[in-house]
């Protein structure tokens, strides 16, 4: 039995992609799976996966400097055959593990170059310099690792220029996790935004849109504010009285919430990283039979149009978002049809069962090297 060890310095031990999908899928396939995470919590075994907690550090700079070494020490103790890294700051320990003759996988959840280019708190020149330095370093390190896993076609294409063993494993929903919403479509005018709440994710435009809606709707926010001070800032905006802040919800709580939602919003603003991303929340809405209102990025619009599961809008135009919400509320049967179309699309092609096959294929490939 091959011993596999996943490592993350920033994700939670119950992370949807790392734990619920990848770790559990590998454990179910017969691998001996461990997951080391920096959360200060006790060790435990969940769904056949051994979870180890190391110290949590909140300061970003201290985390980047300190946690990778703590994870490396724990990783050596576990003495796995394969190490699966989930954060760019862990690339240095990937090199250390290679020196120990270990197989190392880098799982790139984001295009970090584009992500850095979107950091508005950095001066544009500094932003570009930092992004280029990271891109050079990433290319140098990743070329020495065994496998690269990407989450979007764009990230896949980037790494294929540097590496021969690259796999596209998208973060699609697990079939059956969210029951299709078959409630009476004439009731419950609730609109949901699920995920991290920030300016670049369009929170101000969403609140403005709710204020502009002609229908009597409420916006439910399920997620954490980044930064926390943003909540105080946005609470002063017109339309806030129509907003319910639910905070972070676990998977079971999300499933229950979905039963009372008429429309799902995923109107992220057009940063370079967002435009090329695959928003998992959009597919989760679709899985639950909820029609979506999504940013009109080319890839997102193509998915929405082909699946006939919602409406694409300019995320920077609150009136467009409001008009789309009103249309779905005024036309409940159309909304229900779009929801059903989305659910069917997830069953056919946007689900974890299909992506799991690629994950297992990647690991099986390691055996013949």
CATH number at residue 117: 3.40.50.2000
Instruction: Based on the fold, state whether residues 23 and 158 are members of the same structural domain.
Output: yes
| Cβ contacts of 87 within 8 Å, gap of 6 or more | 7, 8, 9, 10, 11
CA distances from 45 to 35, 76, 140, 217, 304 (A): 10, 19, 36, 43, 39
Instruction: Based on the fold, state whether residues 219 and 132 are members of the same structural domain.
Output: no
Taking 90 as the threshold, does the pLDDT of residue 115 lie above it? no
Residue 291 domain-assigned (yes or no): yes
Instruction: Based on the fold, state whether residues 278 and 355 are members of the same structural domain.
Output: no
Residue 176: the pLDDT is 92
The alpha-helical segments, DSSP class H, found in the chain are: 24-28, 60-78, 91-99, 112-117, 124-142, 153-160, 203-212, 230-234, 251-258, 272-275, 280-287, 298-307, 318-330, 332-348, 352-366
HSE-CB at 312 with a 13 A cutoff on CA atoms is 14
Instruction: Based on the fold, state whether residues 112 and 210 are members of the same structural domain.
Output: no
Q: What is the pLDDT of residues 288-346, one digit of tens each?
A: 999 999 999 999 999 999 999 999 999 999 999 999 999 999 999 999 999 999 999 99
Residue 367: the pLDDT is 66
> What is the domain extent for residue 201?
190-348
Residue 113 domain-assigned (yes or no): yes
How many distinct structural domains can be found in the chain? 2
CA 18 to chain centre: 10
Straight-line distance from the first to the last Cα atom of the chain, in angstroms, rounded to the nearest whole number? 16
Residue 96 domain-assigned (yes or no): yes
The size of the chain, in residues, is 369
Whose tokens are 């370079």? That residue is 272
* Cα distance between residue 257 and residue 192, in whole Å: 9
Residue 122: the pLDDT is 79
Taking 90 as the threshold, does the pLDDT of residue 16 lie above it? yes
Residue 305 domain-assigned (yes or no): yes
Strands 190-194 and 263-266: parallel
277-287 average pLDDT score: 97
Instruction: Based on the fold, state whether residues 116 and 147 are members of the same structural domain.
Output: yes
Mean per-residue pLDDT over the chain, rounded: 94
* Cα distance between residue 315 and residue 307, in whole Å: 20
What's this model's pTM, rounded to 2 decimal places?
0.93
Instruction: Based on the fold, state whether residues 72 and 26 are members of the same structural domain.
Output: yes
109-132 average pLDDT score: 87
Residue 183: the pLDDT is 55
9-13 average pLDDT score: 95
Residue 368: the pLDDT is 41
Residue 311 domain-assigned (yes or no): yes
Instruction: Based on the fold, state whether residues 61 and 127 are members of the same structural domain.
Output: yes
Residue 47 domain-assigned (yes or no): yes
Residue 61: the pLDDT is 84
119-129 average pLDDT score: 83
Taking 80 as the threshold, does the pLDDT of residue 1 lie above it? no
Residue 205: the pLDDT is 98
CB 343 within 8 A of CB 288: yes
Residue 182 domain-assigned (yes or no): no
Instruction: Based on the fold, state whether residues 139 and 216 are members of the same structural domain.
Output: no
Residue 7: the pLDDT is 98
Percent of the chain with pLDDT over 70: 97
- Report the 3 state secondary structure along 134-198: HHHHHHHHHCCCCEEEECCHHHHHHHHCCCCCEEECCCCCCCCCCCCCCCCCCCCCEEEEECCEC
3-class SS at 356?
A: helix
Residue 369: the pLDDT is 45
CA distances from 266 to 35, 115, 315 (A): 30, 18, 9
Instruction: Based on the fold, state whether residues 78 and 201 are members of the same structural domain.
Output: no
Taking 80 as the threshold, does the pLDDT of residue 112 lie above it? yes
Q: What is the pLDDT of residues 140-180, one digit of tens each?
A: 999 999 999 999 999 999 999 999 999 999 999 999 999 77
Instruction: Based on the fold, state whether residues 206 and 315 are members of the same structural domain.
Output: yes
Instruction: Based on the fold, state whether residues 22 and 167 are members of the same structural domain.
Output: yes
**Which residues sit opposite 6 in a β-bridge?**
35, 84
Q: What is the pLDDT of residues 171-215, one digit of tens each?
A: 999 999 997 765 554 457 999 999 999 999 999 999 999 999 999
Residue 184 domain-assigned (yes or no): no
Instruction: Based on the fold, state whether residues 202 and 139 are members of the same structural domain.
Output: no
């Amino acid at each position: 039995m091959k011993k596999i060890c996943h490592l993350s310095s920033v994700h939670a031990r119950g992370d949807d992609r790392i734990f619920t999908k990848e770790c559990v899928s590998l454990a179910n396939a017969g691998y001996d799976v461990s997951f080391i995470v920096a959360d200060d919590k006790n060790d435990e075994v969940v769904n056949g996966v051994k979870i180890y907690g190391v110290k949590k550090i909140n300061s970003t700079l201290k985390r980047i400097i300190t946690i990778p070494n703590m994870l490396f020490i724990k990783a050596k103790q576990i003495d796995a055959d394969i190490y699966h890294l989930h954060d760019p700051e862990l690339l240095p320990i990937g090199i250390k593990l290679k020196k120990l003759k270990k197989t190392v996988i880098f799982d790139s959840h984001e295009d970090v170059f584009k992500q850095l280019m979107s950091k508005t708190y950095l001066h544009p020149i500094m932003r570009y310099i930092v992004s280029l330095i990271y891109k050079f370093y990433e290319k140098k390190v990743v070329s020495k690792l065994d496998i690269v896993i990407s989450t979007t076609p764009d990230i896949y294409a980037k790494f294929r220029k540097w590496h021969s063993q690259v796999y596209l494993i998208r973060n699609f929903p697990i079939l059956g996790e969210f029951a299709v919403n078959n409630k009476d479509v004439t009731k419950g005018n609730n609109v949901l935004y699920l995920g991290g709440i920030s300016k670049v994710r369009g929170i101000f435009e969403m609140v403005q849109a709710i204020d502009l809606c002609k229908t009597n709707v409420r916006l439910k926010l399920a997620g954490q504010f980044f930064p926390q001070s943003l909540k105080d800032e946005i609470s002063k905006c017109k339309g806030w009285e129509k907003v319910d802040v639910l905070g972070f919800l676990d998977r079971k709580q999300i499933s229950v919430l979905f039963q009372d939602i008429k429309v799902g919003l995923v109107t992220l603003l057009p940063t370079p990283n967002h435009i090329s991303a695959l928003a998992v929340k959009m597919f989760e809405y679709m899985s639950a039979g909820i029609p979506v209102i999504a940013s009109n990025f080319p890839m997102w619009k193509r998915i929405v149009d082909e699946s006939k599961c919602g409406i694409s809008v300019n995320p920077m135009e609150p009136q467009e978002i409001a008009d789309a919400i009103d249309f779905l509320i005024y036309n409940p049967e159309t909304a229900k049809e779009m929801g059903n179309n989305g659910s069917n699309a997830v069953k056919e092609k946007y689900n974890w069962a299909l992506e799991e096959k690629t994950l297992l294929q990647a690991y099986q490939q390691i055996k013949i090297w």
